[in-house]
Structures are given as C-alpha cells and as structure tokens.
A and B are shown apart, each in its own frame.
Chain A
C-alpha cells in the first residue's frame, strides 16, 4: 500500500515523530559528550590563564600561539597559580575553584543588581607576582573575552583574547600573536587613573615602541572589534579597580 503523505493527519504524525527522534538523538549525544566537553573547556581556561602570564610553549616561534599541552596543563596551573581569589562585595576570599566561575553570568547578575563574584588569579613566575583578571565584552558579531596579566606597577605582562564569531581575517585577528604581544609592557594607568589601553587607528606607532601612551595599533578593517577590546579592558579594570589599588606599588 502506498503511503498517502498528503493527509493532514500524516503530516501531524510525521512532524511529531521527527521532533521526538531528532530531539532524542541530540539529547543523547549532548549528555554523552558533556563530560568530555566540560573537561576540554576547563583545560582551555587553564591554558588561557597561564598564557596571559607568559606560561606557554611559544619558545622561539614569534608568530604562533602555543599553549601548554592539555596533558600537562593541570599540573602547571597548580604550580604557577599560587592563589585564586573571589571578590564579593569588595571582600576577597580564597577559592581553589575560582577559575570555574562563569564571568558572563556574574556580569549578568551585576547588571540585574544582584550580588556577584569576581575571580582573580595570582600567579608567580621567576619570583615575580602576576595578577590575572578575566575579561568579557562584545565585539562586532558576538562575545569576546580574555585574560590580562598585570604586575604590581599596573604594567601589562601579557594578555590573551578570544572571540566567538568575529570575522575571519579581520576581527578574528585579535587572537593573533602580533596583536596580543603589542599589549605587553603597556601601562593601564594614566597618572593615578585607571585608563586601560585604547586600540587606536593612526597612532603613528605601528611597531608599538611607545609603551606609556595607553594605546596599541589597531587592526585594519576591524574597527568595531578593536573598540570592543578596548572597552572590555576598561570595563574589566574598572570592576577590579578597588582591589588593584590595594596591591599597587605607589
């Protein structure tokens, strides 16, 4: 018997069955893969935090971004990050799982006027302290985020940027070495004000030799992503300003 696929009842049943089948397949897949995906995300976060404070495998390669491999990252993270703090209502407490805090959710809570937690990581390398702050902001198409490592004079020691959907070849280049490396050595202070670092066009300093101008050279064709990066740095520093003021060497 040929199937009469034109009947309304058939259409309804077909859609119902299809929704259930597809839904089950995806739900099953998601629950099977979730632990692996979460583990990957956890490692990636550790890699990014370590990358910002200069713990990476870049070596002699001046062009590429090389993280600590995932099989070693947990150990390295434990040895380089000596303290993880959570700042809540202006009070900093230690929390070994602070790096798992989802900064996006915390910022959303802040916006709604609820209480929020801010994670901060203190790393030590070659007996020097690094204060690593997570950042979250928006680029042209979607979210951008990253980490910024400061020393006690508020000079940037390293940054890491990432993005969800910036344009390949343009805004996506914020995660390239040549862009990220420019931030190293820049100060976020202007006098005693927390100024951040602007991503500016035509600053006549493409090689970024001037380190105290609160500016790095922009990416051509990626104005909005660049402005997003600058705004993200400024906003994140504003959030942590009170804490940073307590550690700053005056």
Chain B
C-alpha cells in the first residue's frame, strides 16, 4: 500500500499548481512583496512557513472539537503566535547566527494570511494527518512562488544569486556589465514583486484556461 492515498497526494500537489495560495487564491501577497528582493530570504521564509504551517495545522486540527466557534479566530492567532515565538526562541538559543539572518521574518510569519486561512478553511474540519499534509502542501505552494520571484528579483535587480555575483561586477564593469548591461534598480523595490507575480499568474492561466474566471 502506498504511503499516501491519491486524495492525500492531491492535498500536497494541488496547492503547488492549480490551487496555489498566491497565484490562485491571492493570499500571502504582503510577505511575498516584502521579502523577495533576495533569493536567500525567500528560501528561509519558505522553510519557516512550512514548519509553522504544518505544526499549526496539526495543533488546530487536534483542538478542533474543543475550540468555541465564537472565539476561534483568537484561538488560531494564539496558536500561530505561540509557535512563532517558540521557533524564534529556540533559534536564538541554538542557532544564533541563523536567527540573526531571519530577524524580522520570523515575526512576519504571524501576519501571513495563508496560515490563518488554512486553519480556518481546512484544519478546523479535518483530522491531524490530512491537516498536516494540507499545511505542507500550501506552504510549499507559497514557497515555490516566493523562490521564483526571489530568483528573478535578485538576478535582475542586483545581478547576484544567493549573494554570489553571477553576472560580473557592476562597478568595475566585468562580465555581462562590460557589454553595457545594467542592473534594474526597479526589481529590488516591492512593486516589482507584484509584476513578477502577475507574470507568473498570466503564464499559469494561459497554460491552463480552466483557471480563468468567467466575467
């Protein structure tokens, strides 16, 4: 027997493409704009969200029968805030260098609407295992877009990838810069992320017309 049933596999794969939280559901846009100027930051954010999303979904799913519906949003908020603080403190104690790199991102996770969205839409109505898979899937779907956007913004905006100069040195004019190429300063400011996300949405919808909404 396979480890994951077909339905379980879909929980992970759907959010990567046809039900992507960023390009289809248009959630989590704020953090996608804020932190994608560098590829490294995008990767780190993706990993942090995968952890918080999966754990949070499991915790909420386990508590789904005892959370009073009147205060469920507050309860969800407390769960995600607690997880984020735990991650932050543990990193500070055992991976101090990494925690300094993550800095602001850890706190930003709380504001990610995908997390609250999945708690509300999925974990409150499903068991822990399925919620876990759903959490992983959605966080991966979010992370993939983040990494694609981060890749293009860092490459075109700074001429580097993960901090390594891949296109040459813009000041001493070596590599590609010797031919008169210039970095596009616009790519490192947040509106550029919106344009890159827009292009991804366009490509995705033209490949799969079923995703285009009727007017």
Partners in one complex: yes
Say yes or no: A14-B71 contact (C-beta < 8 A), given A40-B96, A167-B37: yes
Of B62-70, B110-118, B195-203, B206-214, the segment with at least 4 beta carbons within 8 Å of chain A is: B62-70
A26-B86, A33-B93, A40-B92 are known; give 20 further A-B pairs, CB within 8 A: A3-B65, A5-B66, A5-B68, A5-B69, A6-B70, A14-B68, A15-B74, A33-B89, A36-B94, A44-B100, A162-B100, A164-B104, A165-B103, A165-B104, A165-B107, A168-B35, A168-B38, A168-B41, A169-B38, A221-B188
A→B interface (CB under 8 Å)? 3, 5-6, 10-11, 14-15, 18, 22, 25-26, 29-30, 33, 36-37, 40-41, 43-44, 63, 141-142, 162-165, 167-170, 206-207, 220-221
Q: Is the CB of B92 within 8 A of A169?
A: no
Q: Is the CB of B93 within 8 A of A37?
A: yes
Q: Is the CB of B78 within 8 A of A18?
A: yes
Interchain Cβ contacts under 8 Å between A and B, 23 examples: A5-B67, A5-B68, A6-B69, A6-B70, A11-B70, A14-B71, A15-B74, A18-B75, A25-B82, A26-B82, A26-B86, A29-B89, A40-B92, A40-B93, A41-B96, A43-B96, A44-B100, A63-B163, A167-B34, A170-B37, A170-B188, A170-B189, A221-B189
Alpha-carbon separation in the docked complex, A96 to B189 (Å): 45
State the majority secondary structure of interface residues on B.
helix
The total of chain B residues at the interface (CB under 8 A) is 37
The verdict on B185 contacting chain A, using a C-beta distance below 8 Å, is yes
Cβ contacts under 8 Å, A165 to chain B: 103-104, 107
Cβ contacts under 8 Å, A43 to chain B: 96
Q: Which residue of A lies closest to B153 (CB)?
A: A169
Chain B residues numbered 40-62 whose CB sits less than 8 Å from any CB in chain A:
41
